[in-house]
């Protein structure tokens, strides 16, 4: 059995490497000195793959930690690998959970070395038992089905080639191939959640409900089905950053939080809102037009029969006088960059003929009664009407800015959020660029 598992592991690693990487790919290989990572190190040696071996010595176990480091360094050298050992002081964790602190430190070092050595991936020795423990912890913490998918063999950063093998398989491999390893006695303590699951919970479950691990390992597929279903439903009720309220209101109440969570996460708010906020957002269909609700770094605004999602930016009232000299190198204000150039910038969001402007300029929040002459028009239009026509969300209208000349003429309107046509502003007929223009004022948004 031992010899067969040895061949099976080698064959699996060889296939996984071929599936994901080129033959000359360089890796960062995390090795603790335990049986899992030492088995992985030896497998890389057998397959003659290049890697930088990285060992983190946390000093948590005194001389025993030093012996772990010695073993990793000696075997890495013997098997032809370059090795980097990093010593940390456990006192630096302060009051933080040590395992969480250690994990953050470990992966930060891995990522830094990956970038420095131009490695393709970070390789870890996670195995099937780790996968079971990971999914269980997510279940116990109340995570939804989308989180049941657990770890992936290759996620674009971390490569876990042993993920489909049980711990017993890896121990059998080490015995078969006489791979030396160290045992961390602290893993026998159930002080931490993962150790409790491994040392007590799993053993009891093996006695009471044989086969329970496979049932847990089947959950990722259920999570994938759930996620695909929610994505399909989300696509039916929302397009880009706009939710169709008529369609959303027809969803069963039990689905609404999942759809909203999917939308919020798509727009970068993952982990930035609470369960309480998510529950409150299910009432957004009753929001009055022009009103808004916030979720993390997003703001959801009611516009007629739609909800618009936008970044929740802080907009300050501005009243700034601008001279020609100070924008030669570019002037940045509230995420807006104004710059005077002698060349026409094709990528500028807005572009004005600088020679037609009455200097110094002023940039300010618009006021009731403000009007300008839109590009291509003979008459004037109120700023309020212009913003309405461009369908700028009500929440943002009052934060729009106007660029004025020294005589009060409005040369441009700057929108705090993109208009329905994706434009970020409008310029006046009085400041338009022509083929004879030689000096330009460009305006860009970050």
Q: ω before 40 within 30° of 0 (cis)? A: no
Hey, CA dihedral for 331, 332, 337, 338, is it positive or negative? negative
Burial class of residue 36 (count of CB atoms within 10 Å of its CB; 0-12, 13-18, 19+): buried
Distance separating the N- and C-terminal Cα atoms of the chain: 61
The architecture that CATH gives domain 220-311 is Up-down Bundle (1.20)
Provide the token pair at 276.
């309480």
Helix (H) or strand (E) holding 134: helix 128-140
Contact 335, 313 (CB under 8 A): yes
SS3 label, residue 410 = strand
Contact 136, 213 (CB under 8 A): no
According to DSSP, the β-strands at 425-427 and 410-414 are antiparallel
pTM of the model: 0.64
SS3 label, residue 34 = coil
Contact 327, 340 (CB under 8 A): yes
CA dist 362 and 399 (Å) reads: 16
CA dist 226 and 229 (Å) reads: 5
Identical fold, 2-217 and 220-311:
no
For residue 185, the model assigns a pLDDT of 64
For residue 187, the model assigns a pLDDT of 64
Helix (H) or strand (E) holding 313: none
Three-state secondary structure of 350-387: EEEEHHHCCCCEEEEECCCCCEECECCCCCCEEHHHHH
Show the low-confidence residues of the chain (pLDDT under 70): 1-3, 185-194, 199, 315
Q: Give the side-chain half-sphere CA count within 13 A for 212.
A: 14
According to DSSP, the β-strands at 440-445 and 350-353 are antiparallel
For residue 276, the model assigns a pLDDT of 85
Q: Where are the domains of the chain?
A: 2-217, 220-311, 319-445
Determine whether domain 2-217 maps to CATH 3.40.50.620: yes
Contact 88, 58 (CB under 8 A): yes
For residue 311, the model assigns a pLDDT of 83
Find where tokens 């009055």 sit. 288
Provide the token pair at 141.
């913490």
For residue 416, the model assigns a pLDDT of 87
How confident is the model over 246-285, as pLDDT tens digits? 999 999 999 999 999 999 988 888 888 888 888 888 888 8
For residue 318, the model assigns a pLDDT of 81
For residue 190, the model assigns a pLDDT of 59
> DSSP string of 237-257?
HEETTEEEHHHHHTS-TTTHH
SS3 label, residue 185 = helix
For residue 192, the model assigns a pLDDT of 63
SS3 label, residue 341 = strand
For residue 144, the model assigns a pLDDT of 79
Find where tokens 């705090």 sit. 416
Provide the token pair at 225.
């089905």
For residue 420, the model assigns a pLDDT of 74
For residue 279, the model assigns a pLDDT of 86
């Amino acid at each position: 059995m031992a010899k067969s598992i040895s061949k099976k592991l080698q064959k699996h690693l060889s296939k996984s490497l071929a599936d994901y990487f080129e033959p000359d790919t360089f890796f960062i290989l995390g090795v603790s000195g335990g049986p899992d990572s030492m088995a992985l190190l030896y497998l890389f040696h057998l397959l003659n793959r290049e890697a930088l071996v990285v060992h983190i010595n946390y000093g948590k176990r005194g001389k025993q930690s030093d012996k772990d480091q010695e073993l990793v360094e000696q075997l890495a050298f013997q098997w032809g690998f370059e090795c980097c050992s990093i010593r940390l002081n456990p006192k630096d964790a302060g009051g933080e959970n040590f395992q969480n602190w250690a994990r953050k430190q470990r992966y930060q070092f891995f990522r830094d070395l990956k970038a420095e050595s131009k490695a393709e991936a970070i390789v870890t020795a996670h195995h099937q038992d780790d996968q079971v423990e990971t999914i269980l912890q997510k279940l116990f913490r109340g995570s939804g089905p989308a989180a049941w998918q657990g770890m992936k063999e290759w996620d674009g950063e971390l490569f876990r080639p042993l993920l489909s093998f049980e711990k017993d398989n890896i121990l059998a491999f080490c015995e078969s191939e006489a791979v030396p390893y160290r045992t961390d006695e602290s893993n026998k303590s159930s002080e931490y959640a993962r150790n409790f699951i491994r040392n007590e919970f799993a053993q009891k479950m093996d006695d009471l409900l044989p086969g329970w691990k496979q049932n847990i390992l089947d959950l990722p597929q259920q999570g994938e089905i759930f996620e695909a279903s929610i994505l399909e439903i989300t696509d039916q009720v929302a397009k880009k950053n706009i939710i169709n309220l008529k369609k959303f209101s027809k969803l069963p109440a039990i689905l609404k939080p999942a759809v909203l969570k999917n939308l919020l996460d798509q727009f970068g708010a993952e982990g930035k809102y609470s369960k309480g906020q998510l529950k409150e957002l299910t009432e957004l269909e009753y929001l009055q037009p022009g009103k808004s609700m916030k979720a993390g770094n997003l703001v959801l605004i009611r516009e007629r029969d739609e909800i618009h999602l936008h970044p929740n930016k802080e907009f300050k009232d501005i009243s700034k006088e601008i001279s020609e000299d100070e924008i030669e190198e570019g002037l940045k204000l509230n995420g807006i960059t104004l710059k005077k150039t002698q060349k026409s910038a094709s990528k500028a969001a807005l572009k004005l003929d600088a020679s037609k402007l009455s200097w110094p300029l002023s940039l300010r929040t618009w006021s009731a009664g403000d009007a300008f002459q839109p590009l291509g028009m003979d008459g004037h239009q109120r700023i309020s009407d212009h913003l309405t026509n461009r369908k700028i969300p009500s929440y943002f209208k009052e934060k729009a800015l106007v660029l004025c000349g020294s005589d009060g003429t409005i040369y441009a309107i700057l929108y705090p959020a993109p208009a329905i046509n994706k434009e970020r502003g409008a310029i006046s007929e009085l400041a338009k660029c022509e083929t004879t223009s030689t000096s330009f004022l460009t305006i860009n948004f970050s």
